[in-house]
């Protein structure tokens, strides 16, 4: 409750903060609005904003750890800033004026608070540099890179391909018919050419360890007025991203009376609402899982290692000298990034010194997501919505839509490369034959508008079926979440708020529903004596992954051990890199359907040819031994939540003195669910069961009355541990509860806790 002197305002701006500290900002024009947005966001999230800036500019080593040089070099090779400057030069001046005002608001906060910065700056011994316009544009590249699954999956494939025979390796490549339910049943994908891609590196593994990865899952759906208790569309969205404290999203409400009224979640360091609603439409996002990355094996000139062969001619690589300042070092680290006409040479990051591999990635191509978000915040109908999102091509999304005129829709927004051949392979770099031929035109991307079934939905599943004329991708999550969502949408004729709440918290597993009968069949004559109780628990299970379920615990451990049984003999400890990712899941699903795989045979027992059932029995026995040693022999007393937990960790929370002084972490808390349930609590590869992949926000939007809309995030609005709003939504979130997303002026003024006036 204060008055602030904010320079360059043309009129007063009022900021109401509700009981959770969420700002509702009322201004008279765009520049005043976004200048205040910048100041307010910096109040709450300045160090997080600076961390994101340092990631995207490759400057983590300066303030965190000398071991981050590889990460810095990787992000510099991605050249976010270079692209951002090109995008800025082509962005509408009206949009830039608002972005410049936002930048000014951040800098005003920094300049006024250099002596009372968030504790992280003090602990690390530095002060933030002035904010620049390009730092906000760089966030687009960061999200695009982290949502590009090829950077991760391809590294695993590359390692596996080095270790096994071509026959075994070919079995890992998915047959698209096992991918099941498409997002758009009316569209059909033709190219099933599946070969090898290469992958990234140690730098990616470091990013995982830092908790800086994002992941690529999400759910969204909307029902028409005919299927809604209000007679108007209702929409739901939960984007599944990495879990940290503070969280990835910043909740806010922005108003210019008579011109703009939009609420939802924004990224710290950018002013626009990414998922939310205005007075006319609501929207939410899921990742398309586009194959937006290709690798090329280059032929290098023996006389000049900085030249590569292309169509019979030696071409000079572009060489960029990188000077990386390192905390505590007397001298900077000097390295060089090399680039072909397609993109960066990435083999340096993979430790493959005898090969030179370059990458072409859609995130380096021209796009303008900032334009898209600006227009999306203002769109009033389906046509304006589609015009807004057509430049959303680096961060590929399926965007769900609902409006106050009773319409629902779903639009794929993606830069889908047009290739000579589709699939997952390392192309020969000495020919331009395999260079991309542009991207699929927006008008040919899948979309659905007011379908006869009365709903639209997506969950990162296969986008189209077999007859669609373009190759979109390969590594789609299997259709367990989308299958369950559509099952629930088909169960009732009419839906309301409580139905959507139930759906968002649903932990019934279609994956378990399909796999468990196979387990039981394999174990029917095997699980006797001390194993009989576990068999009975599985046989009686309803496939709900609730925290109190002993069957859920057995199922998850068995799947981990099934991965071990199938892959460890060929891959050794590297099998953990395969466990739980889409490569393993696709192979196991293929094996479930066909009943056989060469991976089932243990190479260490040459006189025996093991079957899939043999692998299941091995997994069961190992699971029983492990769980009995951990929790005792009483199977029915075991609980999934004893092992499966969630913790909210600050990036500096592993430093004991930081946690002791500032209490930056929370948890762990026992939870249910898994990566294959609609309510997701996914955990990393290997043996850790601490969830780090969750619903980063939950929204239920009512087009009939926006004030009835509900939302929640796992953390809180503030990034300052001493704030009462640091993690004040965590309890709501873990209990699958929501808070109102106040929208009308009357609702906002009836529910505010603090009021500030900026003049």
Let me know whether 516 and 627 are in one domain: yes
19 CB neighbour count, 10 Å cutoff: 15
430 CB neighbour count, 10 Å cutoff: 17
Half-sphere exposure of 116 (CA within 13 A, CB side): 5
Q: Does 212 fall in a domain?
A: no
Rounded CA-CA distance 85/396 in Å is: 21
Let me know whether 651 and 598 are in one domain: no
Let me know whether 680 and 590 are in one domain: no
From 593, 618, 638, the end of a domain falls on 638
CA geometry: angle 674, 677, 678, nearest 5 deg: 130
Question: Minimal CA–CA distance to 458: which of 181, 674, 736, 141?
Answer: 181
Q: Does 329 fall in a domain?
A: no
**Which domain, by its residues, includes 612?**
510-543+550-638
Q: Strand (E) positions, 328-485?
A: 333-339, 357-361, 397-403, 408-413, 426-428, 447-449, 455-458
Let me know whether 524 and 630 are in one domain: yes
Q: In the predicted model, what is the mean pLDDT of residues 414-419?
A: 92
Q: Does 267 fall in a domain?
A: no
> What is the 3-class SS of 126-179, one letter each residue?
CCCCCCCHHHHHHHHHHHHHHCCCHHHHHHHHHHHHHHCCHHHHHHHCCCHHHH
Q: 533: burial class by Cβ within 10 Å (0-12, 13-18, 19+)?
A: middle
> Is residue 351 over pLDDT 80?
no
From 638, 672, 699, the end of a domain falls on 638
Token readout for 159 is 């390692």
Residue 403 is given by DSSP the state E
Let me know whether 605 and 631 are in one domain: yes
Q: What are the pLDDT digits (tens) for 677-715? A: 999 998 876 667 999 889 999 999 999 999 999 999 999
> Is residue 358 over pLDDT 50?
yes
Q: Is residue 720 within 8 Å of 483, Cβ to Cβ?
A: no
Q: Does 504 fall in a domain?
A: no
Let me know whether 677 and 557 are in one domain: no
Q: Does 591 fall in a domain?
A: yes
Let me know whether 586 and 557 are in one domain: yes
Q: Does 609 fall in a domain?
A: yes
Rounded CA-CA distance 504/284 in Å is: 14
Let me know whether 527 and 592 are in one domain: yes
From 675, 691, 707, the end of a domain falls on 691
Number of domains into which the chain is organized: 2
Question: Given pLDDT bands bounded at 50, 70 and 90, which one contains residue 352?
Answer: very low
Contact residues for 625 (Cβ-Cβ < 8 A; gap 6+): none
Let me know whether 561 and 594 are in one domain: yes
Sign for the pseudo-dihedral over CA of 416, 422, 424, 426: negative
Contact residues for 438 (Cβ-Cβ < 8 A; gap 6+): 417, 418
Rounded CA-CA distance 30/302 in Å is: 57
H or E stretch covering 297: strand 293-297
Let me know whether 560 and 518 are in one domain: yes
Q: Is residue 376 within 8 Å of 389, Cβ to Cβ?
A: yes
Predicted local distance difference test score (pLDDT) of residue 169: 77
Q: In the predicted model, what is the mean pLDDT of residues 11-29?
A: 98
688 CB neighbour count, 10 Å cutoff: 11
Q: Does 382 fall in a domain?
A: no
Q: What are the pLDDT digits (tens) for 48-85? A: 999 999 999 999 999 998 888 988 998 999 999 999 99
Rounded CA-CA distance 145/55 in Å is: 12
Let me know whether 565 and 668 are in one domain: no
Q: What are the pLDDT digits (tens) for 300-328? A: 999 999 999 999 999 999 999 999 999 99
730 CB neighbour count, 10 Å cutoff: 21
Q: What are the pLDDT digits (tens) for 269-304? A: 999 999 999 999 999 999 998 888 888 889 999 999
Q: What are the pLDDT digits (tens) for 650-667? A: 988 888 888 888 899 999
Q: Does 455 fall in a domain?
A: no
Q: Is residue 454 within 8 Å of 227, Cβ to Cβ?
A: yes
Let me know whether 524 and 623 are in one domain: yes
Predicted local distance difference test score (pLDDT) of residue 595: 86
Q: What are the pLDDT digits (tens) for 141-188? A: 988 887 776 665 665 666 677 677 878 877 877 654 444 444 444 433
Question: Minimal CA–CA distance to 396: which of 443, 463, 317?
Answer: 463
437 CB neighbour count, 10 Å cutoff: 8
Q: Is residue 460 within 8 Å of 217, Cβ to Cβ?
A: yes
């Amino acid at each position: 409750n204060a008055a602030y002197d904010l320079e360059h305002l043309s009129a007063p701006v009022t900021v109401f903060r509700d009981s959770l500290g969420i700002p509702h900002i009322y201004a008279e024009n765009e520049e005043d609005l976004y200048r205040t947005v910048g100041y307010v966001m910096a109040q709450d999230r300045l160090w997080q904003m600076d961390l994101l800036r340092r990631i995207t500019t490759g400057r983590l080593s300066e303030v965190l750890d000398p071991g981050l040089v590889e990460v810095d070099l990787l992000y510099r090779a991605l050249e976010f800033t270079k692209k951002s400057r090109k995008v800025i030069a082509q962005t509408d001046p009206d949009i830039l004026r608002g972005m410049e005002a936002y930048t000014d608001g951040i800098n005003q906060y920094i300049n006024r608070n250099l002596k009372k910065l968030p504790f992280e700056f003090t602990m690390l011994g530095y002060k933030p540099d002035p904010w620049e316009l390009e730092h906000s544009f760089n966030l687009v590249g960061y999200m695009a890179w982290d949502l590009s699954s090829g950077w991760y999956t391809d590294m695993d494939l590359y390692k596996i391909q080095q270790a096994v025979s071509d026959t075994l390796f070919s079995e890992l490549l998915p047959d698209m018919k096992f991918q099941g339910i498409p997002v758009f049943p009316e569209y059909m994908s033709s190219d099933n050419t599946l070969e090898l891609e290469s992958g990234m590196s140690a730098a990616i593994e470091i990013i995982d360890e830092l908790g800086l990865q994002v992941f690529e899952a999400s759910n969204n759906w909307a029902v028409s007025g005919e299927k809604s208790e209000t007679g108007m569309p209702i929409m739901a969205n939960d984007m599944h991203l990495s879990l940290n404290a503070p969280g990835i999203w910043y909740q806010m409400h922005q108003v210019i009376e008579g011109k703009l009224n939009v609420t939802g979640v924004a990224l710290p360091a950018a002013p626009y609402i990414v998922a939310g609603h205005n007075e006319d439409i609501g929207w939410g996002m899921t990742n398309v899982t586009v194959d937006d990355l290709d690798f090329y094996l280059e032929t290098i000139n023996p006389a000049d290692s900085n030249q590569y062969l292309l169509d019979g001619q030696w071409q000079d690589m572009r060489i960029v000298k990188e000077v990386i300042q390192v905390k505590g070092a007397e001298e900077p680290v000097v390295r060089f990034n090399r680039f072909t006409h397609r993109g960066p040479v990435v083999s340096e990051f993979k430790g493959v010194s005898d090969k030179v591999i370059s990458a072409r990635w859609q995130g380096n191509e021209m796009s303008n997501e900032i334009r898209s978000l600006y227009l999306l915040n203002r769109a009033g109908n389906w046509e304006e919505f589609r015009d807004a999102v057509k430049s959303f091509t680096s961060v590929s999304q399926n965007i769900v839509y609902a409006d106050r005129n009773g319409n629902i829709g779903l639009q794929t927004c993606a830069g889908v490369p047009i290739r000579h051949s589709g699939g997952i392979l390392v192309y020969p770099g000495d020919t331009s034959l395999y260079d991309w031929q542009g991207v699929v035109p927006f008008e040919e991307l899948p979309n659905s508008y007011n379908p006869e079934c009365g709903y639209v939905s997506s969950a990162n599943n296969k986008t189209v079926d077999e007859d669609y004329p373009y190759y979109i991708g390969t590594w789609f999550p299997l259709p367990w979440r989308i299958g369950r969502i559509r099952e629930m949408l088909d169960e009732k004729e009419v839906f309301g708020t409580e139905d959507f709440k139930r759906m968002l918290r649903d932990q019934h597993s279609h994956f378990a529903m399909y796999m468990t009968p196979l387990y039981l069949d394999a174990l029917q004559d095997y699980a006797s004596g001390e194993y009989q109780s576990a068999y009975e628990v599985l046989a009686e299970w309803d496939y709900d992954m609730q925290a109190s379920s002993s069957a859920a615990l057995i199922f998850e451990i068995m799947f981990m051990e099934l991965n071990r049984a199938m892959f460890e003999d060929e891959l050794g400890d590297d099998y953990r890199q395969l466990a739980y990712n889409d490569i393993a899941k696709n192979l196991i699903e293929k094996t479930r359907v066909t009943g056989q795989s060469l991976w089932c045979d243990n190479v260490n027992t040459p006189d025996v040819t093991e079957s899939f059932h043999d692998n299941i029995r091995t997994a069961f026995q190992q699971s029983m031994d492990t769980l009995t040693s951990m929790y005792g022999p009483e199977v029915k007393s075991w609980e999934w939540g004893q092992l499966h937990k969630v913790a909210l960790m600050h990036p500096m929370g592993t430093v004991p003195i930081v946690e002791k002084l500032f209490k930056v972490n929370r948890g762990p808390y026992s939870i249910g669910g898994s990566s294959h349930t609609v309510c997701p609590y996914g955990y990393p590869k290997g043996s850790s069961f601490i969830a780090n992949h969750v619903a980063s926000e939950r929204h239920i939007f009512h087009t009939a009355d926006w004030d009835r809309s509900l939302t929640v995030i796992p953390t809180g609005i503030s990034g300052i541990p001493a704030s009462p709003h640091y993690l004040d939504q965590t309890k709501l979130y873990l209990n699958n509860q929501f808070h109102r997303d106040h929208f009308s002026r009357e609702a906002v003024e009836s529910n505010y806790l603090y009021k500030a006036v900026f003049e």
